[in-house]
Amino acid sequence: MSEIKQVIIHPAIGVARVGNSPKEYFLLPDLINEPITDPGNFRDSEGRIKRQAARFRLYGADEHGNIIRELTAEDGDITWTVHLANKKAAWYNFDLALDIPQATGAFSGYPPVESTLRNVSIISDADRSRLVIDGGIVAISGINTNTDGNDREFAFDNGTFYSPDGNDKPVYLGELRTDDNGRLLFLGGYGLSASYNNDPAVTFANNDTWHDDTSDGPVDAKIMLKTGEVFEATGAWVLTAPPDYSPGVQAFVTGYDLLAQTAVDMGQSVLPAIPEFWEHIYPMLERMPLNGWVNAGIFKQNGWGSPGNLSTPEMVAKLSNASNLYFELRQAIFRQFRNPDYLTMQAELFPPVYGDGLQSFKSSDTDPRNFMAVMPFQYEYLQQWANGNFTIGTRPETRSWNDITPAEQAVHLDRTSLDETIGGPFHPGCEFTWPMRQPILYSAPFRIKRRLNDPMTYGPILNSQIALETGGPLDGSAAGDITKWMAVPWQTDTSSCLSGYVGIMGQYIPTFWPVRVPNDVLTEADYEVMMNENASLEEKNAAFSNRVKWLRGIVYQYGYPSVKVSPYTKGINDFITQWPDVGILIQKEGTGDANFPNKIWVENGRTIGEEQVTADAMLKAAPEQGQPAEDSGYLWMVERAEKRKRG
């Protein structure tokens, strides 16, 4: 204890998620790549989605910042303080990531982006301040405080949202709790969104009169040790995001990858010069088949049994061998990855994901940023690996929490919260958007820079120059400044971000964010066929190969003989209220048959009635005459598939 000269909060950025269960929650594992499980399959006994809580811990460090040990309530009195806000309705429209050439006007054929204010008809500063939902500052201390969540003293329920009649509406943004060690637990909102005029939502990101109950803000702590010493901890940040509908399925580029690259750009890299296979290479290869559980196109190309599945034991044995025996194999795989310099269009390369530049959904677009690449450090690591310049490292599943040092624990905590977020594309995104890759946003790697003065606006329009300049909106943050760049409400973006917008490339890929917003899933009914010992191999294979649209019954409407998908506005408005009723993908045991994987991701808990139809029965429709191009990706034709006979 005498060596402790400073105290630091970990994770540096904690991620909570909304849910409509009023009491129950789940936590992410502490260890990197540990399976994410929940006894109730992420729902309470009434089928309501549990909130994901963000847990924060204190670590003592020496004068150089070297972590010594975790500090808990046994070591002293801990007081946590959190400030939350939601500023979406008072901020600017999201039109495009303002840090890419297309937004600055540097890319031929695209004028500079100038984003106007949301709710621009509300003019006075006094009225616009009422568009901000400020949950205030809440403090908590002790052990097992507010364990049931009923104590209003620890709730962020003082914020209100604008109402034309002056009776502004209270909005609950979350609550604080502590565990039996005095660690902080933060639970966010309930996923409620509304318009003060009862207007329908009309677009994916910028719906005037609307608000939701996501939020973000700084996390601080003070500890008085039993020795009498008092430490103010190095602060952290918390943000509340939409639900994770496929927990444990990681994006091709995670939030951690994004922030690790940002640390490189800051000149403060947290990465080794030479990659480790298990730490840096295998995760990128494993994400190919893993994403096949949420997108039918990736399943066909990289899923179980396909030649593109690079996670089989036989393939891993080759890919982890640094000798020249598999040199050309490694080189061939490396050539499949898109170059993050974005100098040329590489639509056919990996990952099969749309990019930040996608605006018109036209196949004639020539901006290379219409498709996303891995981070520059990941591309460099892949190139080193392809050349045989890598070490093996340690398989993640061989580690336990007690086997790693306190310093390693802190690293794991920072990473686990971000590995389950998405590092792109940003249009605008799931948990956060493009400002998170700007070094000016941070005081140190992963630590969001604080600011006291917090301008409401930066004039009538926001462009790239204003957004990126020193002293601008990214040069430090206050409560609400991370999530304000996101869609309002979150449900309209979640239900808009599908796959196959460009018809010539197919209906499955490219895609946007299937790991949080699945495109095509394996149903419980098909899983039951697979587990039926009386079913034939052919029947099991037919069930295993079948994928249905996750948003069937909301965006995709099936009928006979064929119908279009719901009008775009109907789909996004239905999802605003029906988001708790769609399925969550759960990892389940396989059949034990070597023809199928031993772990299977299955849609679970869906309560929206809809006849099962194969994803292959979905046909892309031509846009209606005069329809805006931005909506053309949401119009589909479907054919009713014959019901498969069950045993």
> What was the pLDDT predicted at 644?
29
pLDDT tens, residue by residue, 166-191 = 999 999 999 999 999 999 999 999 99
> What was the pLDDT predicted at 363?
59
> What was the pLDDT predicted at 566?
59
Which residue do the tokens 């990214």 mark?
Answer: 474
| 239-247: average pLDDT | 98
> What was the pLDDT predicted at 90?
98
Give me 193's structure tokens.
């969104």
Q: Are 191 and 20 in contact (CB under 8 A)?
A: yes
Dist. CA 383–CA 392, nearest whole Å: 16
Contacts of 467 (CB under 8 A, 6+ apart): 98, 99, 435, 458, 473, 474
Share of the chain above pLDDT 90, in %: 81
pLDDT-derived band of residue 504, with 50, 70 and 90 as boundaries? low
Cis peptide before 396 (omega within 30 of 0): no
Share of the chain above pLDDT 70, in %: 91
Top pLDDT among 285 and 33 is at 285
Selection from 186, 183, 187 nearest residue 141 by Cα: 183
Contacts of 579 (CB under 8 A, 6+ apart): 191, 243, 491, 494, 495
> What was the pLDDT predicted at 394?
86
Q: Is 60 exceeded by the pLDDT of residue 638? A: no
**DSSP states of 249-294:** ---SSBHHHHHHHHHHHTT---S-SS-BIIIIIHHHHHHHHHHTTT
Selection from 466, 471, 468, 431 nearest residue 451 by Cα: 471
pLDDT tens, residue by residue, 283-301 = 999 999 999 999 999 999 9
Dist. CA 248–CA 638, nearest whole Å: 31
Give me 364's structure tokens.
């004639």
What angle (nearest 5°) sits at the alpha carbon of residue 493, between those of residues 491 and 499? 120
- With both helix axes pointing from N to C terminus, report the angle between 524-531 and 537-545 in degrees, rounded to the nearest 10: 160
Q: Are 35 and 29 in contact (CB under 8 A)?
A: yes
Dihedral pair phi/psi, residue 401, rounded to 5°: -60, -40
Q: Is 60 exceeded by the pLDDT of residue 631? A: no
Q: Is 90 exceeded by the pLDDT of residue 139? A: yes
Q: Is 90 exceeded by the pLDDT of residue 213? A: yes
Dihedral pair phi/psi, residue 211, rounded to 5°: -145, 165
> What was the pLDDT predicted at 366?
80
Q: Are 305 and 597 in contact (CB under 8 A)?
A: no
267 backbone φψ class: left, alpha, beta (φ>0; ψ -120 to 50): left
| 569-587: average pLDDT | 95
Residue spans of beta strands (DSSP E) within 2-88: 6-10, 13-17, 25-26, 51-52, 54-61, 67-71, 76-86
Q: Is 80 exceeded by the pLDDT of residue 645? A: no
Give me 280's structure tokens.
């840096």
> What was the pLDDT predicted at 360?
58
Dist. CA 187–CA 281, nearest whole Å: 34
> What was the pLDDT predicted at 558?
53
Selection from 206, 205, 119 nearest residue 164 by Cα: 119
Compute the mean pLDDT over every residue in the chain, rounded to the nearest whole number.
90
- With both helix axes pointing from N to C terminus, report the angle between 406-419 and 255-265 in degrees, rounded to the nearest 10: 110
pLDDT tens, residue by residue, 418-462 = 999 999 999 999 999 999 999 999 999 999 999 987 888 999 999
Contacts of 95 (CB under 8 A, 6+ apart): 103, 113, 115
Q: Is 8 helix (H, G, I), strand (E, B) or coil?
A: strand
Cis peptide before 561 (omega within 30 of 0): yes
Give me 335's structure tokens.
């050539």
| 506-528: average pLDDT | 92
Dist. CA 231–CA 225, nearest whole Å: 8
Dist. CA 584–CA 49, nearest whole Å: 9
- Which of 315-324, 431-440, 623-632 has the least mean pLDDT? 623-632
Contacts of 647 (CB under 8 A, 6+ apart): 529, 532, 534, 535, 539
pLDDT-derived band of residue 395, with 50, 70 and 90 as boundaries? confident
Dist. CA 8–CA 232, nearest whole Å: 9
Q: Is 90 exceeded by the pLDDT of residue 585? A: yes
> What was the pLDDT predicted at 392?
96
Selection from 277, 298, 278 nearest residue 289 by Cα: 298
> What was the pLDDT predicted at 1?
79
